[in-house]
Amino acid sequence: MEERRKYKRLPIKLELEINSLFKQNNDIIKLDNKTIEVIDISKNGIGILCRDELPLNYYFNAKIEFDEKRYFYCVLKIIRSNKCGDKYCLGCEFVGLAEFLADKVDEYEKILNEK
């Protein structure tokens, strides 16, 4: 099967805490600091695992931290959700991410290749 993704997915182990989801129409869903596990990252977005289903087309704020010196803040949109055993696999895309921030993903890939 031909790969159709624009950017390569890279494995990553991060935990994020989400305290709210929002839509552009000011619809806000408050969460009790829900912890999610980031399992992969690309210049376009992240793949996450979550115990609870999160609604599609909602946004959340995140800090993507590769290490103490390499990190960035971003907005992510939930675009895909599938049941994976007892958890949910979600696909999220970066919203309005500046190119110089997306380049941090390339830097992370170089570090992975050096290992």
DSSP character at residue 2: -
Cα-Cα-Cα-Cα dihedral sign, residues 7, 21, 51, 33: positive
* Per-residue pLDDT tens digits for 29-75: 999 888 999 999 999 999 999 999 999 999 999 999 998 888 999 99
pTM reported for the whole predicted model? 0.90
> Which residue in this structure is represented by tokens 């977005």?
45
**CA nearest 43: which of 72, 17, 22, 14?**
72
Burial letters 52-76, b for 16+ CB under 10 A, else e: eebeeebbbebebbbeeeeebebeb
**CA nearest 93: which of 42, 51, 53?**
42
